[in-house]
Structure 1
Amino acid sequence: MDTALHDPLLGRLLDARYRVEQRIAVGGMATVYRGLDTRLERVVALKVMHPGLASDPEFTSRFIREAKAVARLSHPNVVNVFDQGQDGDAVFLAMEYVPGWTLRDLMRDRGALAPRTVLDILEPILAGLGAAHRAGLVHRDVKPENVLLTEDGRVKVTDFGLVRAVSGESQATTGQVMGTVSYLAPEQIEQGATDPRTDVYACGILMFEMLTGSKPYTGDSPMQVVYQHISMDVPPPSSLVPGLAPELDAITTAAASRDANRRPADAVALLAALQHIRRGLSPAQLDAEPGLPFQPGPQQPPVERTSIMRELPPDLVMPRRTPPEERFAPPPSRAARRPQRRRRRWVVPAVVLLVIGLVAGGATWALDGLYMRMPSVLGQTQGQAVQTLQADGLTVTVTQDFSTTVASGKVISTNPGVGTRIRKDSTVTLDVSKGPDRPAVPDVTGKSQSAAEQAIKDAGLAVGQVTQQASDSISQGDVISTDPAVGTKEQPNTVVNLVVSSGAQPVPLPDVVGESVDQATSDLQDAGFNVQLDPNQVYSPDAAAGDVAAQSPNGDSASKGSTVTLTVSKGQQQATVPDVTGQSEKDARKALEGAGFQVQTVKLNPFGTPTVHNQSPGGNQQAALGSKVTIWLY
């Protein structure tokens, strides 16, 4: 019997707004429904905490924390949280509804994915997690079930139910380890400690699983898997899928390193490294079909999907393999093999063909004595490989190249390749490893941030965190220092953090408006500022001609050593006073105020309709614009 038919929430209106329409999925902490926001008339996902947990203050607090944490993020690769509320015993979140598949659905259906598809999915995951990390949040439960693939090809991270602020408590509850065991970092298991590198580890495991179609650690019990996380290194994906680019091995094992200090600092740093690697891979490496067929595990329970879920776009997934065509036809039936008289006329030609075949075969056998199959010397030392090949009569030349996966002095590859049919007197080229290319951190001190980032990428390294620091000697926006330090030799794609100048330390800024230019210059220079004069002077009602009318900047403080621009006053602006004698008070006031003056009236006769008999300043005289004109009426 389908328990969803008896779900008491179906059809219920939560908070007089959200109508529960269909159950989508059930998790350990909450049930997710498709609902309708009746106010805005839009489809939403309603995540409702299980009633048994709603009475627990700790779980309720964690549930509400998810809403507040994700609401702080505004990113296209994070599922948006619209609202949070409680209706009776139902504590719920109203979230963006994302029709489509989970990444788990995709991997269960397709197995191993092509590297291009892996990067197309993992890069937006890291972009969403990077936004969380830079906002001070750690997801702590990154896994395929929490990655949604939309019907139009977008990728979104969801279920921040275990999210926690980096600056807050970073230990799990005593005796309890949060997250899914297959993706837990060693430090998360041993100490319960979490920071952005915890999510990076989970992404490394995720990348391994997408590239190979299987998890790096398996066991009959969760404890067996936990033990492997703590005691074993994640193998390179190419150990299961031969032919993967070495760079993919390197970034996967770095992200999933047991030592948190050897991982990229956060999702932003891992994303930068992945994008750098992608640019260096050829189309053939990006689109390489997985070398081994996916072997499905035990039958999984059916995944609940909404009625509008459908197949993902074909450019997002690997095409299914089609079985190879049969090379041989089935054997003929006994009746077909029965000799027939009318076919006897073909016996003589058949014998002739057989003789010709035997002669040709003998010639081929004779020629085979001149040929051999190229033996495998991969992974051998240069001396061992040369000795092996020369013993077979081959001539050997040696080239060298950097390698992050093959130890220095050992063979990376051969030309011709292993198994190739070659003459026994051929020349074979050995490509011998020089070890990893250890680029030095370039000197980017004093360069702009953008120029420094480009120089770091050009050196084969990745840009990490960028922090700001005040500096009296380095201009704002330029680089003060790097970590690791300039000249340090590192592994390729090592993250380099930058410290960028935010300008000089602010110091108090004197207010010199109204002072003479000489006095103002002296005061500003004594305070540590440079001074320049604005070539344009302005009228000022407050500063006498030749004094300072304005300064820029004009706040309470400014960076020491910065330049302050002084604008000199031309004094008060003069204007012609209209002659209003003989006019009524109303007309006189209108004329004077229209000319930019203030008006003061003196009435000597309160009776009748007085007119202006005198004014000061007098009509047609010059006066400061905005000054008072007194008129006498009688």
Structure 2
Amino acid sequence: MSHALGPGDLVDRRYRLEAPIADGGMSTVYLATDTRLDRHVALKLLSPTLAGDNSFVSRLELEAKSVARLSHPGVVQVFDHGFDDGHAFLVMELVPGGTLREILDERGPMPAHVVMSVLRPILGALAEAHGNGLIHRDIKPENILVSTNNSVKLADFGLVRAVAESRSTSQNVVMGTAAYLAPEQIATGDTDPRSDLYSLGIVAFELLTGRVPFQGDTPVATAYQRLERPVPPPSSLVSGIPEDLDDLIVHATERNPDARISSAKDFLHRVEEVSSRNRLFHVPVPAPSSSAWSRARERAAREAAAGSGGAGPKSETVFDIASRESSGAPAAFGAAAGAGAAAASAAAPTHVIGDTPQVDETTRLQQQAPGAPLGAPPGAEQGTPTRMHPRQAPPVPYGERAAATSVYPGGPGPGQGAPPRGHAGQTPAPTSRSLPDVPTGLQSKRGAGCLWAIAVLVLVAILGVAGWWLGSGRLVEVPDVSGMSVPEASAAIAGVGLTSAEEELYDNEAPEGDLLGTEPTAGERVQPGGTVKVLVSAGQPVVPDISADRSREATEAAINERSLVPVVAEKARFSNDVPEGAVLELSPAPGTTLGVGDEVKLVLSGGPAPVDVPELVGLALSDAREALEAVGLRVGNVTEEFDDSQPGGSVVSSDPSPGEALRANSPVSLTVSTAARVPDIRGMDMDEARAELEKAGLTVVEGPAETDEDVLDGKAVRTEPSADELVDAKTTTIRLIPSNSVRVPMVLGDTVGSASDKLRERGLRPKVDSGRNGVVYGQNPLPGRVVGPDTEVRLSALG
């Protein structure tokens, strides 16, 4: 039985547990130190129930390997996994901070620009995961982490599927959290990338409104409501949400997956379009100040202070060190500037919805948001009136939030007391009332005040005229150059004291070289000696060549320079010559004349076409390597196992299996048989027999000698196991049995003494029946017979 682990223990002889961060239904998350790489990590110890489930551990290993291949900064990285003394564990990137759930609890609903700043990195992470065949299945605020340096990351990839596949006993078992499940997860249990997009749409709805769209009496009732009811637009609950943001969330949460946004890439593209149209600038997403991480950090500080007796300066804890290590990179969208606290996910476990509903109910009213505004993004003004599109309903107060001030970067959020359009900062006009009489002593002072007012007005007029002269009064008017040639226009501009500079513009009507006009235009006034652009037609644009390095960025820049619009084709095309992601071709082709603003489609390379894994079973390892390289694949991990159906060194199986399609240069893991056939060494010299067995890869020990009539002393009689048997060369030890048989020598005609000496030299025992000193005329056994050692040989002699 495994013992409980705690701070100070070493997991897998590598990870030292420092302090717990959070404890949930399925796991406990620790701040740990990787003693091998000297860095801090988050180590998730899974519950003993899961660790004791062999199918879960196997599934978790596969999922961890898949997630480890993801390198997007929006995914909490998985560094290691294992099983140590009954404890299954995952080692992940450390993200000091907290979860979206903790932010919502602390600050309340988010303004639209903060919601978009959350969606961008999560959609980027999902795009890469879906591209690698991974589906999260449990998108919710508890699984979205925000670090203290404002990076946003998605956690717990693979864990949901591992739990689901280890516990599933029927097709009606669904994994996930009730409030965020897609309809198909409820109805059939089936999931695809669009299921993740639905769940993320629900998360965005909650971030904007402070609540999820469906709330039932039980978690199962909450989950099943979405089968019959569409998700309403967020503006039906909170005012000030742009109409196209409403449409985006409604589109992402369609009940029919085929009517939904098709991919994370498309979702991200729509997010950028909505943000651009509504000037929803990116802002740093604030980490929660009250989170599992901060509470663990404060607990560690209290324990350190108690250990020092409260005397002396405050001691630095391991949490302070880890936070400092993770804050070295600047916070920016798309950059994994720090590590994350993969703790809150453990505190909000996911359960099974089956015959016995066990879904976490995460929908709850939020607390009044504390704090004050943190500032506005570039271009935004504090207190800007909230916009409402015509179809939006009046705002519905959400507890006391309808009058609360935003505590997010960028000013007031939706439904948070923004004034209506045209009335920002206005106050009611005072009511009319009679004025008091002016005291007599002040009336003379009024006359002097009038004189001073007149003097000030005269001074202002003088300064105004001077300012006009120094400003626009001495400006030069740009001449009208219509109908002139380019040289004539340049001369006309020079004639009024201005400088001209030619600039080419593409134009669908004017031939190349014709004058299009000036910038500034005719009649505008500019400073003397200023520069006026002479706009010259470059004719109709022509599709440029693909850049020399075939990079998408350089090719798009060349297309934009010609006043054309670059558009990337939805599907890439495979190519053995052009690297993946590079521009393969343009449509229309380079050299084609187009109109200004026409689109040019960039077809990107998908890299080499996928290839099928060949049949490798039965091939020697070297032959299997050649077969893989011949189709553009390579040998990955090679493991060994005993298989009596294949000779030693031959391939037993491959992973992936034969016929599966892989990208070029992908690794294929091979399992090679360790079986060895025991050679027949009977009658060989012992040294020769030992060499023959070792040549077959077997370990040899010598056994007790045996008497064999057909095998003489010094020769090999047999082996254990017997010749021609297939054995595991890695674990089997072969016992080599030598012969101790002796061939009886010819002693007839020898004297008794000489005959006795010959017999003793062979290990035999002479016995004289008659004639002690005479010549031997009889012996038994006869000469040439094979006998065992110490066999008695009877001699008969004359005399």
TM-score by length of 2: 0.39
TM-score by length of 1: 0.48
